[in-house]
Every structure is written in structure tokens, then in C-alpha cells.
Amino acid sequence: MTCSILYSYIRSMAPPRNAFTPLYVPITNIPSSGIQLRPEFLALFKHANIEARHLLTLDDLPDLSVIQSKLRPENTRWILVDHNALQGQLGKIYSDRVGGVIDHHDDEGKVPTDTYEEPRIVDKTGSCTSLVASYCRQTWDLLSDSAASSGAAHAQGDSLSDDGAVVKSWDAEAAKLGLASILIDTSNLQSKDKTTEHDRKAVEYLEAKIMICPRHSVSFDRNKFFAEIDSAKKDIGGLELQDILRKDYKLWEDKGQKLGISSVVKPISFLEKKAADEAASQSEEDAFVSALQRFATERGLDIYSVMTTSTSSEGQFQRELFVWAFNDGAISAAKKFAADAQSELGLEEWHENALGHDGNGQWRKAWWQRHVQHSRKRVAPLLRAAMT
């Protein structure tokens, strides 16, 4: 969300000379209902002068049955941020119209080598927003300087013009939007496994945009800002389990097989209790398994995975990984993944193989993932490689 808004905002203010269009439209790649499932969005919007209704989502695109006639492929150009392969129905229709990318995942080679006036940046960093901020930095500064100078020319005496103050406020709000993503993705720059120099430089740059605006700088504190957004992200107790599973859900489709992965900021034990509370008549494990099967079946998945993050009673960051395969081909892929990835991910059996199952054309297993530096950004490519 932050990547698409920042990129579109700067590019629309100063489009390249040979741009496909001077107007860049940010699309948040979720349905509008998904915004309410992300309390961190709602907390951040207050800082960025945004309301949920301002965002363009998948629901704002034409219905899938008529999208090709309403939004003809040749009339579009797609720039991908925070992913580098257009997936799902959009990918089936518009994959040939992808004309640029800024991303920090493994390069799938789906974006053309020559993207002309648009960027082709796929680089390792904790947050993709850091790459967007870096790419747009020179243009953003020129825009800010130009607007402020223009406003200052109309100022009376030595006072700062209203125009100049507005520009600084806009810059600070946009900077807070980007800063939140970077801090969340890098645990406030404290994650040694994720934080890169790209992230540190981007935070320094965005904070400077905030601190130059008196209206925002007087109350800004990075640690408090991070704590507010991070706390909101983890506040999922009021959501139903199906919403928790789709809150941070990604789908990939390769060679006719569908892989879905849900990332959750609570441990499996929390999800089991949530499932049991909602089901009332089932045990925690049975209710949890039933809920996962419902989620996967509704989406026609061949393989479904749940990745959790939490903090142990000793204060240690920890990860759990659950994988469920629903047919023979998927079972073969899942078992291959388990064997191939065991060492790299540090997979250890979870509670004496609780949740495990092998039979009736299905296979599932849960693990502790001891090598916690590997997020979905690494687990997904490993699962997809096993599916090929």
C-alpha cells in the first residue's frame, strides 16, 4: 500500500517525458473489506491525512467478467511494487502489460529487462518502501524545493507562506506513510537479519522530511511512532479466525497448482483457541483444522501454509510453520519441501507432531521454524520450487 501510493504520488507530480500516461494510479492489491482487517493501516492513516475510502482497491476495478472490455490491456501499463510477478486474474489479463518493477523478493524474471522510462529494480532490502523512497528521492526533493520556492515568492515579509507550510505538511505526511512500512518490516531497524543500508538511509531521509515540518516535528518520536503502528498490527483479537487468515494472505499459481500462505502475528495456540471459541462444540485442534480446511477449500488451494510469529515466555522471537497438501501432486511437493528446506529453515517437530496427518489423499505437518530470519519472502520460493 505505501509503496504504490508513494510511487504514484511522486511520479504523477513529475512524470517522465515519455511516460505512458502522466497519471499514475495506486491500486492496493486487496478488496476494500481487507482494509478493515489491517488495524495498522487505520492507525497510520491518521498520521498521513488518509481515510480508508480514499484508497483504490481491487473492488474499484471493473468486474472480472467485463474487465477486458472496460479496461482494455492495451490502454494500461502496470508498475509492480513489492512483488515482481502479476498474479491471479489480473496476471492472466495484464501480465504482458507490466512495464516496470520495484521489489525486494526473488526475481521471477516476469518483468521485461528493458522497462524504458520506468524502473526495473529488484534488490535485497528489509522493506520495499526503502527502494521506492530511494528511487524517488531526487525527484521528490526537486518537487519540494520548487513548490516551497514558488510559495515563498508570494509570502509577505519574512514569514513562511501558506503554500510553503502546506508543501512541508504534505511531505511529512507522505514520509510518515513510507516510514511506517520500513519500521514495521525491520522491527524499528533492530532486525539484524532484515535491515540493510537501503533501509537505514531511507529512514534517515524520511525522518528529515518529517522534522523540517514544524507541525509534525514537534510531536514526532520514532520509537513511539513504531510502537503505535506495531501494536495496532498485533491487535487482532477482535477479528474472526477466517479474517485473521486472510488479513495477510498471499496466493501463487504455478503450472495449475495453487499455493496460499497466511502470515499471522500470533502463535498457533492462539489460533486454536480462537477456532474453538468460535466452534464451541469442537476441541481446539479439531476446530483449528476444520477452519483451515474451510479457508483452503473456499480458495481451491492445492497447498496451504500458515506462518506465525510471536514472542516466547522468555522474550525470544519465534516462528511456527504449518503446511497442508490436499492431493497427490501437492503431497509430493510438500514432502519434497519438508526434506529440502529442513536444514535451511531449521524445522523441528511441533509438539510431538500435533496437527500432523498423512492419509486419505492429504498430508499436513507443523514445525517450529528455528531459523527465524526466514520470513515468507524465503519460505514461499522454497515451496514453489518444490511444486515445479
Q: Is 353 among the domain residues?
A: yes
Question: What is the per-residue pLDDT for 152?
Answer: 44
Whether 328 and 220 map to the same domain: the answer is: no
Where do the DSSP E strands lie in 66-128? 78-81, 98-103, 120-122
Question: What is the per-residue pLDDT for 351?
Answer: 92
When pLDDT is averaged across residues 197-214 and rounded to a whole number, the result is 96
Q: Which of 176, 210, 235 is the last residue of a domain?
A: 235
Question: What is the per-residue pLDDT for 159?
Answer: 39
| Residues 319, 101: Cα–Cα separation, whole Å | 30
pLDDT digits (tens, 9 = 90+) for 313-364: 998 999 999 999 999 999 999 999 999 999 999 999 999 889 999 999 999 9
Whether 247 and 195 map to the same domain: the answer is: no
Range of the domain at 34: 1-60+123-235
Cell of 127: 522493506
Question: What is the per-residue pLDDT for 153?
Answer: 41
In this predicted structure, the answer to whether residue 15 has a pLDDT above a threshold of 90 is: yes
Q: Do the Cβ atoms of 73 and 53 come closer than 8 Å?
A: no
User: What is the end-to-end Cα distance of the chain in Å, rounded?
Assistant: 30
pLDDT digits (tens, 9 = 90+) for 54-81: 999 999 999 878 888 999 999 999 999 9
Q: Which of 235, 253, 277 is the last residue of a domain?
A: 235
Our count of domains for the chain comes to: 2
Q: What is the pTM of this model?
A: 0.87
Q: Which of 235, 269, 302 is the last residue of a domain?
A: 235
Cell of 213: 515540518
Cell of 368: 517450529
Between 254 and 201, the higher pLDDT residue? 201
Burial group, residue 1, by CB count within 10 angstroms (0-12, 13-18, 19+): buried
Q: Is 90 among the domain residues?
A: no
- Rounded to the nearest 10 degrees, how much is the dihedral formed by the CA atoms of 230, 233, 234, 236? 160
Question: What is the per-residue pLDDT for 281?
Answer: 80
| Residues 60, 298: Cα–Cα separation, whole Å | 23
In this predicted structure, the answer to whether residue 171 has a pLDDT above a threshold of 70 is: yes
Whether 143 and 282 map to the same domain: the answer is: no
Question: What is the per-residue pLDDT for 162?
Answer: 58
Whether 350 and 325 map to the same domain: the answer is: yes
